[in-house]
Structure 1
Amino acid sequence: MTPTIIITILVIYFGTLILISNVIGKKDSSNNAFFQANKNSKWYLVAFGMIGTALSGVTFISVPGEVGASGGEQFKYFQFVLGNALGFIVTATVLLPLYYRLNLVSIYEYFEKRLGFYSYKSAASIFLISRTIGSAFRLYLVVIVFQYFVFDHLNIPFAATVLISLGLIFAYTYKSGLKTIIITDTLQTFFLISSVILTIIFICMAMDYSAIEAFETIKESNYSKIFFWDDFVTSKYHFVKQILGGMFVTIAMTGLDQDLMQKNLSCKNIKEAQKNMFTFTGIFVLINIFFLGVGALLYIYAESKGISVPVDPLTGKPRTDLLFPEIAFNHLALIPAIVFLLGLIAATFATTDSALTALTTSFCIDFLGMDKPENINKPNNVRNRKLIHLGFCFLMFIVIVIFNIINDASVVSMIFKIASYTYGPLLGLFSFGMFMKSRKVKDKLVPIICIAAPFITLFISMNSHLFFGNYVFDNELIIVNGLITFLLLLAISFKEKNKTSDI
């Protein structure tokens, strides 16, 4: 596939999204439409569209790539996915009823009602930092793919590629925000799911496999092992670690994250929001099975055709996340390449547009109080919200450029672990607020605890071989972080006489 064809597809794709945005924006570009989609979203559209948000471009290229990574990842990731599913169920049955009962726009308003001003600002700040870094990194990894296969050939610098990407996202989200995203993410999720399924079909056709033959080939290959019961202490892939890590990471990064919860809160009522979550959970598990299947087929295809995993030009090390685009762009026909490109674009931008909208919402609500009765009708609210939206685009641009300057493999690998440190305090804060209803905290000390807990967690992780007999932490580290936050909050709390919180 030539760069000209790829750019043509990009122009058509984003032209369609901008057209949809303009149609919706003409009808309603109010803050209520931007923040909550007027609380009139159809649950089935939200459920379907959330797939595109939950499965980023990183997932699209990295999960298949990791199936045959040097460490023999195989289908280990599916253990984590099962933990994710449990986390989604907890979110639907425990957290969503709380948010709807309190009629929240930003979920962090809960802390102002329950713990106090400083707790509220701390939680919102954690989200802003975590989501900005996480979303910037996800976009960064996929922009590298576009740069590697397209824009380097056109002598367009990396910074310009990033700026163009964020400019396109801004163009179709700044008017109606969430109301637009509910529609555009539905379209993008359709492209994402279609891409995964069609890629399997095209690879099977290239290898003369029927569906049953492909299944049997994967089953009998070295890539299909799912459950791992290696030594619990030294193996980070042990089933229990992956299940617990997947569950609590999901509770923190979905249930306690404004991004995905904002879509749930746009449904008419709690019943529709829960139907959305349960439906989304089923689709999420199924689509990840397809992703892993694609990964196995990619490696089987590569072995049969003598295709090597692409090498990072800077580090000289194999980059498994470039195998999927390498095969799609250079070894399959034009139609499969186009299908892959649409899936990658959809996975990338469905995640980033949702994140930028959530960041804007959180800042406008949690720090500017635009939903307060005294502020809700101020004449410059819409203009200010658009400027803030633009500001977060620029902030994400800066973060991505910094990632590219550092460009160190160890830094890249550490980014995936950052969620365990940044979201851990949110897990501890919510747990304390929900389970210690008879106690209040010394509110001014909460920001200090939210800073201290991740550093204590880092210290424990770095010295786990001394404290726990060579124990190796993985994603379950977020549980440790949340527990430390909870215990520190308990230490600065006091019991209110004859009073129990009703929230």
Structure 2
Amino acid sequence: MNWLDYTIIIVYLIGFVAMGYFFKENKDSKDYFLGGKSLGWFPLSLSTMATQLSAISFISAPAFVGLKANGGLKWLTFEFGVPLAMIGIMFFIIPPLYKSGIVSIYEYLERRFSKSTRKLISVVFQISRALGTGVMVFTMALIIQAVVGISFHWTLIIISIVTLIYSYQGGMKAVVWGDAIQMIILFSGLIICLIVGYSLMEDTGTFTGFNTERLQVIDLSNLGIFQGEEYGFWPMLLGGLFLYLSYYGTDQTQAQRLLSAKDEGTIRKLLMANGLLRFPVVLVYCIMGLIIGYLVSNIPEFYQSIQETTRVHYPAEYAASGIKPDLMMPVFITKYLPNGLIGILMVGILSAAMSS
């Protein structure tokens, strides 16, 4: 990285602080927590996708598809449950939830059951979300430290402070529009990696050398753990259905976005957008993983860079397998992208962490 990349990152961070200030005028608590119920389906749909697709997805999904043992395009099987979950949420969860006029999903629990139920589930959510978000941001910071050389302490501090400032100042409007911008940056970064990776792949020869199992998406004969295996189609489809039903419909991080919509029609549109657009985004993750995994296998210098970074920063993984697959994307960005694009991709990783 050089001055241009650091400038891009600094401008990005300053821009988000300024955005929080821009949205700071909120009339009341409903305006602050639900954006005055004035938000449209487009920013809300991008916001829900950005919250779900974290920095770990940006780094680990391609690594799973391209390098990790027993990995491959079977990752996509999980996504088949998303459209089904969106339909279920439209018909069974949204009508009573939106008409209740609540601000929090836990307020609904208090009305339906009791105050003690609301308090208990609220505490469980806060603890689980704190631990989950902590793991995502910490992992991202460690990888940036390993590849770029920025201390993970500083990465954690900067991301946390900037995110807190614009979220606290601007409320739900700043969060949703910030997520929408971050989703656009994240997807742009994926496309950049895809194009650069494909051009490098053309220089090395034809797209061959992958185990056919890595290219298989659907295996109807695989019943997963019922056969002592992993990633079976039916278990992943049903598991994905109930996971996304619970996540998009009852998790406060998503439910608050649904409650911020103008009307029920807006909610249906944003859910349909998630059901239809999420799969192409994940497909880009997977194709990028195949291409860059191919480059790791066919460019010795690329493999050696990942191996050396693993040896220095992850000695346990180095001793076990020689490389840490999660370093595939960050090493590719810093090794094969020109300055300026490196800054944009680093911003993409930061966006994925901040949106979570």
Task: Mark yes or no: TM-score above 0.5.
Answer: yes
Q: CA deviation at 1:5?
A: 4.4
After superposition, residues 311-330 of structure 1 pair within 5 angstroms as 311=310, 312-317=313-318, 318-330=323-335
Q: Does 1:261 align with 2:255?
A: yes
Amino acid at match of 1:279: A
Contact kept? 2:5, 2:341, Cα under 8 Å: no
Instruction: Answer yes or no: is 1:302 the counterpart of 2:296.
Output: yes
1:248 matched to which residue of 2? 242
Mapping for residues 350-429 of structure 1, pairs under 5 Å: 350-351=355-356
Pairing 1:289–2:283 present = yes
Work out the CA distance in 1 between the residues paired with 2:223 and 2:45.
38
Please tell me whether the aligned partners of residues 55 and 347 of structure 1 are also in contact (alpha carbons under 8 angstroms). Answer: yes
CA distance 1:219–1:278, change in 2 (3 Å) = farther
Classify 1:33/1:247 alpha carbon distance in 2 versus 1 (closer, same or farther; 3 Å).
same
Q: CA deviation at 1:147?
A: 1.8
Partner residue, 2:215? 224
The whole-number CA distance in structure 2 between the counterparts of 1:46 and 1:74 is: 31
What do residues 281-323 of structure 1 show as CA deviations (whole Å, max 9, x unaligned)?
Answer: 2111110000000000011112221222442524134321110
Tell me whether 1:18 sits opposite 2:31 in the alignment.
Answer: no
Secondary structure in structure 2 of the residue aligned to 1:71: coil
Native 8 Å contact 1:111 1:119 kept in 2:
yes
Match among 152, 162, 167 for residue 156 of structure 2: 162
Q: Are the counterparts in 1 of residues 19 and 170 from structure 2 also a CA contact under 8 Å?
A: no
Deviations along 1:436-461, whole A, 9 cap, x unmatched? Answer: xxxxxxxxxxxxxxxxxxxxxxxxxx
Distance 1:293 1:90 in 2: 29
> What code does the residue aligned with 1:144 have?
L
CA contact (8 A) 2:5 2:344 kept: no
TM-score w.r.t. the length of structure 1 is 0.64
Residue 206 of structure 1 is matched in structure 2 by 200
Amino acid in structure 2 at the alignment position of 1:327? F
Q: Which residue of 1 aligns with 2:174?
A: 180
Q: Which residue of 2 aligns with 1:87?
A: 85
Q: 8 Å contact 1:34–1:175 — kept in the other structure?
A: no
* Structure 2: 5+ residue stretches without partners: none
1:66 counterpart SS class: helix
CA deviation map 1:363-414 (0-9, x unaligned): xxxxxxxxxxxxxxxxxxxxxxxxxxxxxxxxxxxxxxxxxxxxxxxxxxxx
**Whole-angstrom distance in 2 between the partners of 1:23 and 1:328:** 33
Aligned CA distance change for structure 1 residues 97 and 231 (closer, same or farther; 3 Å): closer
- Residue 259 of structure 1: CA displacement? 0.4
Out of 273, 285, 288, the position equivalent to 2:267 is 273
Structure 2 equivalent of residue 343 of structure 1: 348
Which AA in structure 2 matches 1:20? M
Quote the offset at 1:54 in angstroms. Answer: 1.4
Could you tell me how far 1:37 is from its partner in structure 2?
0.4
Task: Kindly provide the CA deviation profile for residues 121-157 of structure 1, in whole angstroms up to 9, marking residues without a partner as x.
Answer: 22222211221111111111111122222345xxx4x
Name the CA shift for 1:288/1:120 in 2 (closer, same or farther; >3 Å). Answer: same
Q: In 2, distance between residues paired with 1:37 and 1:89?
A: 25
Answer 1 or 2: higher relative contact order, Cα 8 Å, separation at least 6: 2
More helix as a share of residues: 2
Equivalent pair of 2:333/2:342 in contact (CA under 8 Å): yes
Deviations 1:243-272 (A, max 9, x none): 111111112222110001111111111111
CA 1:314/1:218 → structure 2, altered by over 3 Å: closer, same or farther?
closer
* Secondary structure of residue in 2 paired with 1:174: helix
Residue 65 to residue 29, structure 1, CA distance change in 2 (3 Å): farther
Q: Could you tell me whether the CA contact under 8 Å between 2:74 and 2:216 is conserved in 1?
A: yes
Distance 1:332 1:120 in 2: 49
Aligned length: 341
**Deviation at 1:226?**
0.7
Structure 1 residues 337, 217: CA separation in 2 closer, same or farther (over 3 Å shift)?
A: farther
Q: Separation in 2 of the partners of 1:225 and 1:320? A: 20
> Structure 1 unaligned runs (5+)?
352-503
Give the letter aligned to residue 61 of structure 2: V
Secondary structure of 1:227's match? coil
Is 1:43–1:272's contact at 8 Å kept on the other side of the alignment? yes
Q: Which residue identity does 2:202 align to in structure 1?
A: D
Cα offset for 1:87?
2.2
Distance between the aligned counterparts of 2:261 and 2:350, measured in 1?
26
Structure 1's 190 and 148: CA in aligned 2 closer, same or farther, altered over 3 A?
same
Q: In structure 2, do the counterparts of structure 1 residues 42 and 219 end up closer, same or farther at CA, with 3 Å as the change threshold?
A: farther
- Kept in 2: contact 1:49–1:186 (CA 8 A): yes
- Asked which structure has the greater CA Rg, the reply is 1
Q: Report the CA distance between 1:197 and its aligned residue.
A: 1.5
> 1:248 and 1:50 mapped to 2: Cα distance?
17
Quote the Cα distance in structure 2 between the aligned partners of 1:8 and 1:343: 14
> Is the contact between residue 202 and residue 336 of structure 1 (CA under 8 Å) also seen in structure 2?
no
SS at match of 1:166: helix
SS in 2 for 1:230: coil
1:70 Cα deviation after fit = 3.9
Deviation >4 Å, runs of 4+: 216-222
Aligned mates of 2:118, 2:314 — CA distance in 1: 45
Please tell me whether residue 189 in structure 1 is matched to residue 183 in structure 2. Answer: yes
SS of match in other structure, 1:11: helix
Q: Distance in 2 between matches of 1:16 and 1:219?
A: 42
Judged with a 3 Å threshold, the aligned counterparts in structure 2 of structure 1 residues 193 and 218 are, in CA distance, closer, same or farther, namely: farther
